[in-house]
Amino acid sequence: MMSWLLALEWAGMIVIAMVLSPRTWSGSESHIHPHLWAAILSGPAFILPAILLTVIYPTRQLTRHAIAVAQMLVSALLIDITGGRVETHFHIFGSLAFLAFYRDWRVLMTASAVIAANHLIGGFLWPEALYGVLTVSPWRWVEHAWWVVFEDCFLIVGGMREGRLDWGAHHDTLTGLGNRLLLQECYLALPDLPNTKRALLFIDLDHFKQANDTLGHAVGDKVLMLVAQRLVEAVGSRAVLARIGGDEFAALLDNVAGPEEAIKTGNLILAALSVPFRVDEHELMLSASVGISLYPDQGTDLATLQECADSAMYFAKRQGRNACAVFSAEIDERETVLREIRRDLYRALPRGEFSVHFQPVVDREAGLAGFEALLRWTHPVHGRVAPADFIPMAESAGLIAGIGEWVLTEACRECRTWQRRGHPPVSVGVNVSAVQFELPGFPGRVIEILRECDLDPALLTLELTEGIIVRDMAFAAQQLGGLRALGVRISLDDFGTGYSSLSYLASLPVDTVKLDRSFLNRDSASDSAIVQSVIDLAHGIGMRVVAEGVETLFQSNRLKELNCDELQGFYFSRAIPADALAGYLDSIQTDPAAVARLVA
Amino acid sequence: MTTISAVATVAGIGALFVFNGTAGLETAGPGGWPEGTAVERSRTAPTVLVFAHPFCSCTGATLEELDGLLAKRNSGAQAPVIRILFSRSDPAWRPGELWSRASRIPGASPAWDEGGKEARIFGARTSGLVFLYDRRGKLLFRGGITSSRGHTGDSYGAERLTAALDSGQSAVGAPSKVFGCALFATSDDRVRER
């Protein structure tokens, strides 16, 4: 754009010189007028160099200075050609033009220096030509100098005021870091040089929302300020830092050797954030997930780099958080699929793509004790989607309550169907999400579903994780009390992975504790001791214990030795689709050997 | 590149300054209204006489200044008679932009000076030379009224001319330089000498 303007100015100046003063005369002889020569030669002398710089180094400071010099001299030459006095006014207009273009004081100083040189040299050699009648007032130049100084001061003061507004438009007022606009402008200002690599790092704090919700926004804001401070200390000297969302930050690195250097920077950030944060009386442990994209490998425009860094960041989160991930084709493929899944999740329920499978739960003495209802989703394109992938999405999309209610209804209906077909009553366990559990009318809705399905409440076990209960113990006790009063059984899921508080275990109306599968995957004496302790404790307060994830005969025998009441896992059976369950129940009912296998 | 550019720019600007600030050649002329001239002098009012090259773009500034300073004079002051003579070195030359500009000055009458005959009588060598005579033919002012070639604005010459017009006395101080094209080429002089 600027190169075109400069080229047009050059052409315009030549045309004006040709019209106004094409030739100079001596009687009948004429020659090309020096104005026309000056207009033509101004191109190679100072306009073309400026044009070349705008093309080769469009964002460099040197280019701006070259344009400033060219603009000032073009202005002076135009005034000379058109017959005006080379006076202060062109400097003023020139200065204003540069401010409008660049808001750059260094460039303004260059423009002023050109004018000063022009005035001083010209004024020294031909004072009358520049300053008018010095014979009348030898101090006439003071007026001109005054205008130059006044104008610059005026522009500088006005510019500073504007600069403050400009700062606000480009920075995050909470943390003082840049914002998206600053990031964008800094990116555009970087020169487009060959063999240059850059990295964009997306930093997302892990579980910040929970901390913010729990401790309040005031504490959350202070944490964000401390995070910004640590980012500046860690990488501020070599990166453009910006806060681009609630707990999302970005770092733009120029001239990186390769992905290793970007990862090193990412790890520096993770290390800086791993030190506990002390805010008021609270001490918080935070971590972050960092996604990295590289210029020009993954894109040359900021939007593409942001998209790639975002995908890599989500990948790092899915890998367990507190990690860096560099964008790759594999991540791209996986994230593309997940994006499609996220999009299609909204239509999955109305389109009937969900199904409920049932995994048997075995009583160590009596055989089949019941089933756990497990949600499955068969995507029309991507096939079976892992619950670990789509359930967090459903939670974040606000769909989990509706899906959870659908699962509950289907499980109750199936359970009643088995009885109607003549099978002995068995219980069915249904997982309940936090959102679902916290709905004020949740117990009432459970009653409605049980009535609709005509199912005995005692055959329904609602499984909740510890995390749901400890969020608000009083509320949890009230909800659980309501459900328990109906006759519904309560099971505490994934016990041992979270708080594992034994005090609330005794105070809440819980019937069953489900031991997390992680205790079975490790074959250590300490794990066995923990399992034994939990079983003893649960039995001591009248609860039953269910072990999940039993995959081998050894695990099964060991748990039976430890007096675990019920067992569940691939060793006994995988989750069975609803339509195949009748056959399974028939085989259990009619084949005593099958029951014996279960309890063996 | 920067050095070459800077040197070329400084050299170019310097050359332009030199061109703009170089006054035309002038010779001493008659101290009063010359004998043998065909130009008519007013007997009742001052006469302003301007010699101009018909295509000299610099002289546009002289006409601009003359128009301006006459317009700024006190309305009660006696208006001078203005004669603007365009030296015609080539009979094929026709009135151009400068002629039109001269015609727009109130009280001015542009005319051709064939072969620059009158200019030679008055000793004028440079376009833009201005004379002021009182009604008795006394020379009150002789010189240029711009500060450089083609540039309007305050100038020593314009101030002297204004003072002379207002006072009716000879302008004081050194003569002002004339900035404009030469009225005669060297070859014109050689033709004339043959």
Q: Are A488 and A457 in contact (CB under 8 A)?
A: yes
Flag whether pLDDT at A348 surpasses 80. Answer: yes
Query: Helices marked H in B22-90 — which ranges?
Result: 59-72
Distance CA B9, CA B39 (A): 47
**Tokens (6 digits) for A322:** 């507190």
A351 confidence band (pLDDT: 50, 70, 90): very high
CB-CB: which of A34, A41, A49 is closest to B19? Answer: A34
Mean pLDDT calculated for residue range A84-96: 56
CB-CB: which of B13, B58, B188 is closest to A28? Answer: B188
Distance CA A77, CA B9 (A): 11
**Which mean pLDDT values do the consecutive 10-residue runs of chain B (194 residues) have?**
79 81 79 90 93 94 91 78 94 93 91 94 94 93 90 86 90 87 75 44
Contact between B187 and A27 using a beta-carbon 8 Å cutoff: yes
Q: Enumerate the residues of chain A whose CB falls inside 8 A of the CB of residue B58.
A: 21, 24
DSSP string, A231-265: HHHHHTTTEEEEE-SSSEEEEEE-S--SHHHHHHH
B184 in helix, strand or coil?
Answer: coil
Q: How far away is chain B from the Cα of A70, in angstroms, using its nearest Cα?
A: 10
Which helix (H) or strand (E) segment holds residue B85: the answer is: strand B81-88
Which residue in B9, B25, B187 has the most chain A C-beta atoms within 10 A of its own C-beta, making it the best mutation to test that interface? B9
Average pLDDT, chain A: 84
Over the stretch A553-597, which tens digit does the pLDDT of each residue have?
A: 888 888 888 899 999 998 888 999 998 888 888 887 776 666 556
A178 in helix, strand or coil?
Answer: strand
Q: Are B58 and B155 in contact (CB under 8 A)?
A: no
Q: Enumerate the residues of chain A whose CB falls inside 8 A of the CB of residue B64.
A: 83
Residue found by looking up tokens 């401010």 in the block:
A99
A478 in helix, strand or coil?
Answer: helix
Strand-strand pairing, A427-431 and A367-379: parallel
Contact between B90 and A28 using a beta-carbon 8 Å cutoff: yes
Q: Are B79 and B55 in contact (CB under 8 A)?
A: no
Distance CA A130, CA A119 (A): 7
Q: Enumerate the residues of chain B whose CB falls inside 8 A of the CB of residue A49.
A: 1-2, 5
Q: What is the pTM of this model?
A: 0.49
Strand-strand pairing, A282-284 and B47-52: unpaired
Mean pLDDT calculated for residue range A64-75: 81
Contact between B17 and A132 using a beta-carbon 8 Å cutoff: no
Q: Is the dihedral of CA A214, A215, A220, A221 positive or negative?
A: positive
Distance CA A184, CA A568 (A): 54
Which range of A414-418, A470-474, A523-527, A555-559 scores highest in mean pLDDT? It is A414-418
pLDDT of A583: 86
Q: Mean pLDDT lowest for which of A86-90, A280-284, A517-521?
A: A86-90
Q: Are A356 and A378 in contact (CB under 8 A)?
A: no
Q: Is the dihedral of CA A33, A35, A37, A40 positive or negative?
A: negative
Contact between A45 and B150 using a beta-carbon 8 Å cutoff: no
Amino acid at A249: F
Distance CA B154, CA A85 (A): 9
Mean pLDDT calculated for residue range A162-189: 85
Contact between B151 and A136 using a beta-carbon 8 Å cutoff: no
DSSP lists the bridge partners of residue A23 as A32
Selected residue with higher pLDDT from A162 and B129: B129
List Cα–Cα distances, A163 to A127, A240, A243, A419, B186, in angstroms. 38, 19, 20, 77, 62
Distance CA A367, CA A355 (A): 26
- How crowded is residue A277: how many other Cβ atoms within 10 Å of its Cβ? 17
Mean pLDDT calculated for residue range A98-110: 66
- How crowded is residue A105: how many other Cβ atoms within 10 Å of its Cβ? 16
A309 confidence band (pLDDT: 50, 70, 90): very high
Which range of A380-384, A474-478, A591-595 scores highest in mean pLDDT? It is A380-384
Q: How far away is chain B from the Cα of A239, in angstroms, using its nearest Cα?
A: 31
In chain A, the percentage of residues whose pLDDT exceeds 90 is: 36
Q: Mean pLDDT lowest for which of A21-25, A78-82, A415-419?
A: A78-82
A89 confidence band (pLDDT: 50, 70, 90): low
Selected residue with higher pLDDT from A135 and A331: A331
DSSP lists the bridge partners of residue B129 as B51
Chain A residue closest in CA terms to B55: A25
Distance CA A469, CA B30 (A): 118
| β-sheet with B108-114: strand ranges across | B108-114, B81-88, B47-52, B129-133, B139-143
CB-CB: which of A26, A46, A87 is closest to B181? Answer: A26
Which residue in B93, B114, B181 has the most chain A C-beta atoms within 10 A of its own C-beta, making it the best mutation to test that interface? B181
State the complex-level ipTM. 0.89
Which residue in B51, B53, B154, B186 has the most chain A C-beta atoms within 10 A of its own C-beta, making it the best mutation to test that interface? B154
Selected residue with higher pLDDT from A351 and A597: A351
Which helix (H) or strand (E) segment holds residue A117: the answer is: helix A105-125
Q: What are phi and psi of A32, to 5 degrees?
A: -60, 135
Q: How far away is chain B from the Cα of A16, in angstroms, using its nearest Cα?
A: 13
CA atoms within 13 A on the CB side of A537: 18
**Tokens (6 digits) for A584:** 């399974």
Query: Helices marked H in A295-376 — which ranges?
Result: 302-318, 329-348
The DSSP secondary-structure symbol of A43 reads: I
Distance CA A360, CA A369 (A): 8
Chain B residue closest in CA terms to A45: B5
CB-CB: which of B5, B156, B181 is closest to A25? Answer: B181
pLDDT of B128: 95
CB-CB: which of B61, B89, B150 is closest to A27? Answer: B89
Q: Enumerate the residues of chain B whose CB falls inside 8 A of the CB of residue A80.
A: 16, 20, 150-151
Which helix (H) or strand (E) segment holds residue A544: the answer is: strand A544-547
A5 in helix, strand or coil?
Answer: helix
Q: Enumerate the residues of chain B whose CB falls inside 8 A of the CB of residue A129.
A: 20-21, 147-148, 151
Whether the bond between A296 and the residue before it is cis, its omega within 30 degrees of 0, is yes
For chain B, give percent helix, strand, coil, nearest 5: 35, 20, 45
Contact between A27 and B61 using a beta-carbon 8 Å cutoff: no
Q: Enumerate the residues of chain A whose CB falls inside 8 A of the CB of residue B125.
A: none
A·B CB contacts under 8 A: 118
Query: B19: which residues sit within 8 A by CB, 6+ positions away?
Result: A34, B149
Which helix (H) or strand (E) segment holds residue A9: the answer is: helix A2-20
For chain A, the residues whose C-beta falls within 8 A of a C-beta of chain B are 20-21, 23-30, 33-35, 38, 41-42, 44-46, 49, 52, 69, 73, 76-77, 80, 83-85, 87, 118, 121-122, 125-126, 128-129, 132-133, 135-136
Query: A93: which residues sit within 8 A by CB, 6+ positions away?
Result: A75
A313 confidence band (pLDDT: 50, 70, 90): very high
The DSSP secondary-structure symbol of B39 reads: P
Q: How far away is chain B from the Cα of A166, in angstroms, using its nearest Cα?
A: 33
